[in-house]
Amino acid sequence: MYSIRHAAGVVLQASAFVVVAISDTAYLALAGVVLASFGSGLGEVSYLSLSAYFPDSVITAYSSGTGGAGVFGALAYASLTDAAMANLTPKQALLTMLVVPFIFAYAFWWVLHLPPSVHRVRVVEPRSWLIARGEASTVAPLLHDSDDEIEEEEGRAGRDAATVPFNFQALPSKEKWRAIKPLFSYMLPLALVYFAEYFINQGLLELLVFDCAHGFRLAPAAQYRWFQVLYQIGVFVSRTVGGILPWMPAVSILAGLQLLNSGFLTAAAVKTSLLPHFAAGASIVLYEGLLGGSAYVHTFRTMHKEISPSRREFALGVVSIADTFGILLAGMAAINAHNAICSLPL
């Protein structure tokens, strides 16, 4: 069913660009943002699950690609709308970006080579629209204790595990909890990293405004856009390099560092003298992106190595919602924090 999910993602992407571009009210613009967010969430859970059918190096490639997409998106919009560059209106810039969904569709259906074990949907064959229900596997553990066990099951996975997916819905309630419980050790630190990260992005960055003498003569809106570009560069670099480094700090350590980061920037938003220049703020935002990207790639590469192949697709899909949950909580907290800081006397 990955083809159907991908088609839905392409439609949601294109719809989001159009809706936001033509919006003349905040409600319509927010509707476009919801479409984009829905497509992003659907894509992440789908493609991370799909990575279970490939070697673990795919996690690094996927993480790097998503990080690169963030850089490209932020840099493209900043460049297209900057008065010193393309100087397009936001509407023109968004409609120009409609080329992205077409590239996205082409990459999946014509460039990506799916392994034979992945179910394919054919429009002209209605029987391919549904997947035959496989029997649930209640024997294989979620986590292995040794590399030998992983290698043994990967040998079996090459023959049959990928063709008979782990059927979570068919499990009894106790077995469902046993299947999910070990995943919390991956989900909680990742959710904390993204909570702190998006608390900064959604509630604090727009409050860090520097005058011309301390902001490279950038207007406040331009400062915010370039903060986003630098954040995405940090994410891209860490997601690309983090996958090939021999050692990385535990995600729980990265979560603690990101929480400290959000605490300092909260203080800086209240007392602006803590950040004397745009360059100082930009350095911290870049560091924020490095922490977030490192946590992401480290989490999913570790899972790919530790989770048994027969349940890897299921586990990657479940844990992929952890960052989304952290972002959701951050959005709700950021609204109140932003309003509270703005209400403080100057």
Q: Which residue has the tokens 């799909």?
A: 50
How many other C-beta atoms lie within 10 A of the C-beta of residue 76? 16
**Is it the case that residue 243 has pLDDT exceeding 70?**
no
On whether the CB atoms of residues 257 and 192 are closer than 8 A, the answer is: no
Tell me: the pLDDT tens digits for 115-163? 877 766 665 566 655 665 544 444 444 555 454 554 554 454 444 444 4
Measured CA to CA, the distance from residue 327 to residue 156 in angstroms comes to: 37
Helices (H), the chain: 2-22, 26-50, 57-81, 90-96, 99-106, 147-156, 173-180, 184-203, 220-241, 251-270, 278-306, 309-319, 321-342
- Which tokens belong to 273? 């003298």
**Is it the case that residue 235 has pLDDT exceeding 70?**
yes
Residue 3's pLDDT is 83
* Contacts (Cβ under 8 Å, ≥6 apart) of 325: 187, 191
Measured CA to CA, the distance from residue 221 to residue 77 in angstroms comes to: 12
With a pLDDT cut of 90, the percent of the chain lying above it is 39
On whether the CB atoms of residues 309 and 157 are closer than 8 A, the answer is: yes
- The DSSP secondary-structure symbol of 81 reads H
Q: Is 175 exposed, middle or buried (0-12, 13-18, 19+ CB in 10 A)?
A: middle
Residue 242's pLDDT is 73
**Is it the case that residue 16 has pLDDT exceeding 70?**
yes
Lowest-pLDDT range of 23-37, 74-88, 178-192: 74-88
* More confident position, 185 or 165: 185
Measured CA to CA, the distance from residue 202 to residue 185 in angstroms comes to: 26
Measured CA to CA, the distance from residue 18 to residue 172 in angstroms comes to: 44
Residue 177's pLDDT is 79
Measured CA to CA, the distance from residue 296 to residue 51 in angstroms comes to: 14
CA 15 to chain centre: 20
On whether the CB atoms of residues 306 and 144 are closer than 8 A, the answer is: yes
Measured CA to CA, the distance from residue 144 to residue 147 in angstroms comes to: 8
Tell me: the pLDDT tens digits for 271-287? 877 888 999 999 999 99
What does pLDDT average to over the chain? 83
The pTM score is 0.79
Lowest-pLDDT range of 71-85, 99-113, 155-169: 155-169
pLDDT band at 217 (very low <50, low <70, confident <90, very high): confident
| Helix-helix angle 278-306:251-270, to 10 degrees | 160
- How big is the chain, counted in residues? 346
Q: What is the mean pLDDT of residues 76-92?
A: 86
Measured CA to CA, the distance from residue 101 to residue 98 in angstroms comes to: 6
* Contacts (Cβ under 8 Å, ≥6 apart) of 286: 230, 231, 233, 234
pLDDT band at 85 (very low <50, low <70, confident <90, very high): confident
pLDDT band at 331 (very low <50, low <70, confident <90, very high): very high
Q: What is the mean pLDDT of residues 186-211?
A: 92
Measured CA to CA, the distance from residue 45 to residue 150 in angstroms comes to: 23
Please give the radius of gyration of the chain, using alpha carbons only, rounded to the nearest integer.
Answer: 22
Residue 129's pLDDT is 56
On whether the CB atoms of residues 243 and 60 are closer than 8 A, the answer is: yes
Residue 198's pLDDT is 94
Closest alpha carbon to 218 in 33, 314, 83, 16: 83
143 has which bridge partners? 307
- Which tokens belong to 330? 């951050």
Closest alpha carbon to 194 in 261, 240, 249: 261
